């Protein structure tokens, strides 16, 4: 007897997966991923290989999971899937992940509560600093602070598209040291400042890159001074973290995120302990960026 896919009892996830895969083979995907050719530039050896990046997707919606799986596969990433925040915490206590795509509204435990558990140093999660990307169908422009205050690093509005997912995932994977096994091969300059990643985000506009670096160098000293004077204020650490993310500061970003987390958890001692490390990382970054500015 032929199945009626309009009925829940006859719902066939495999059939839906097949149909979704067919829909994903659109011109948008083909245009976004160019076919390899002799003119294609080689990927830098120190750039994380997508196949070694481990991503966890927490989403209770079957269709959304299928779409996410197909898009991540298209980008070359491997992903595990769970249907609520409680399951995410359980698996993250056993496995390391380089990133979490977290739906905000889920049964049992929603994305906001789950992210709070992830950031809690007392929780069983193996990596409390893992980047968390909020996935939300109810995103409202100007409400970004809602996700940042919850401990999330970025957000993607549903429905998710390939370019949007690629840009967000690539940015955070590059900034988070993670456990992908490629960190040992990075030289000091790329560990502190990923010029290639920043240039790609700016479409290789060297003039714009110069302006971005100049603005960063101008604002960082005051940001650090404000943070040091009020180390227990999460928003000040968030400002440094946000600036580090924007510039591609691989070393500065996770330290600022740790201070922000400590401040949110009212862990004054931890925040104070991390501040000298942040200042040292900032000094290394500034030295590299000043050399970069001399090239223009």
- Per residue in 208-217, pLDDT (tens digit) is 889 999 999 9
Query: Would you say residue 36 has pLDDT above 70?
Result: no
pTM of the model: 0.54
Q: Is residue 14 part of a domain?
A: no
- d(Cα 165, Cα 226) in Å, to the nearest integer? 33
- Both 173 and 192 in one domain: the answer is no
Which residue range(s) make up the domain with 289? 188-294
Q: Is residue 127 part of a domain?
A: yes
Residue whose token pair is 């269709």: 63
- Both 107 and 149 in one domain: the answer is yes
Query: Taking all residues of the chain, what is their mean pLDDT, rounded to a whole number?
Result: 78
- Both 80 and 136 in one domain: the answer is yes
Query: Would you say residue 28 has pLDDT above 90?
Result: no
- Both 204 and 270 in one domain: the answer is yes
- Both 232 and 251 in one domain: the answer is yes
CATH of residue 152's domain is: 3.40.50.2300
pLDDT band per the 50, 70, 90 thresholds, residue 58: very high
Give the pLDDT of residue 106: 93
Which of 179, 198, 219 is the C-terminal boundary of a domain?
Answer: 179
Query: Would you say residue 83 has pLDDT above 60?
Result: yes
Give the pLDDT of residue 289: 93
- d(Cα 135, Cα 169) in Å, to the nearest integer? 12
When pLDDT is averaged across residues 65-83 and rounded to a whole number, the result is: 91
Query: Would you say residue 13 has pLDDT above 60?
Result: no
| Prior bond of 159 cis (ω within 30°) | yes
- Both 106 and 193 in one domain: the answer is no
Give the pLDDT of residue 8: 39
The neighbouring-strand residues paired with 111 are none
- Both 156 and 255 in one domain: the answer is no
- Both 63 and 141 in one domain: the answer is yes
pLDDT band per the 50, 70, 90 thresholds, residue 49: low
CATH of residue 266's domain is: 1.20.120.160
Total residue length of the chain: 296
- Both 172 and 212 in one domain: the answer is no
Backbone angles phi, psi at 229, to 5 degrees: -75, -25
Query: Would you say residue 138 has pLDDT above 70?
Result: no
Q: Is residue 121 part of a domain?
A: yes
- Per residue in 170-210, pLDDT (tens digit) is 777 766 655 444 444 344 456 788 888 888 878 888 988 89
Give the pLDDT of residue 257: 86
Which of 151, 179, 207 is the C-terminal boundary of a domain?
Answer: 179
- Both 215 and 251 in one domain: the answer is yes
- Both 67 and 171 in one domain: the answer is yes
Q: What's the domain count of the chain?
A: 2
Give the pLDDT of residue 63: 86
Q: Is residue 34 part of a domain?
A: no
- Both 86 and 197 in one domain: the answer is no
Which of 179, 209, 234 is the C-terminal boundary of a domain?
Answer: 179
Angle, helices 111-119/85-92, rounded to nearest 10 degrees: 20
User: What percentage of the chain reaches a pLDDT higher than 70?
Assistant: 74
Q: Which residues neighbour 77 within 8 Å (Cβ) at sequence distance 6 or greater?
A: 50, 51, 53, 55, 169
Q: Is residue 15 part of a domain?
A: no
When pLDDT is averaged across residues 6-18 and rounded to a whole number, the result is: 43
């Amino acid at each position: 007897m032929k199945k009626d896919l309009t009925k829940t009892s006859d719902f066939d996830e495999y059939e839906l997966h097949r149909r979704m895969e067919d829909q994903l083979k659109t011109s948008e995907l083909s245009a976004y991923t160019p076919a390899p050719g002799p003119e294609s530039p080689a990927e830098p050896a120190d750039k994380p290989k997508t196949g070694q990046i481990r991503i966890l997707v927490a989403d209770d919606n079957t269709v959304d999971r299928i779409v996410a799986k197909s898009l991540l596969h298209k980008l070359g990433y491997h992903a595990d899937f769970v249907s609520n925040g409680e399951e995410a915490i359980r698996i993250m206590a056993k496995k390391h992940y380089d990133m979490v795509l977290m739906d905000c509204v889920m049964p049992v435990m929603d994305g906001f509560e789950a992210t709070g558990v992830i950031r809690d140093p007392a929780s069983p999660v193996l990596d409390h600093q893992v980047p968390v990307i909020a996935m939300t169908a109810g995103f409202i422009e100007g409400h970004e602070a809602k996700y940042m205050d919850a401990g999330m690093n970025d957000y993607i509005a549903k429905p998710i598209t390939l370019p949007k997912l690629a840009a967000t995932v690539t940015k955070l994977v590059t900034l988070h040291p993670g456990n992908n096994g490629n960190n040992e091969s990075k030289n000091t300059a790329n560990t502190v400042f990923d010029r290639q990643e920043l240039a790609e985000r700016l479409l290789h506009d060297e003039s714009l890159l110069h302006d971005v670096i100049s603005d960063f160098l101008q604002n960082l000293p005051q940001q650090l001074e404000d943070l040091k004077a009020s180390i227990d204020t999460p928003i000040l650490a968030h400002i440094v973290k946000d600036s580090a993310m924007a510039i591609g500061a691989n070393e500065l970003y996770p330290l600022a995120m740790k201070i922000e987390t400590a401040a949110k958890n009212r862990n004054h001692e931890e925040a104070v302990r991390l501040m000298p490390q942040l200042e040292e990382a900032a000094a290394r970054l500034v030295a590299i960026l000043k050399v970069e500015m001399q090239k223009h």
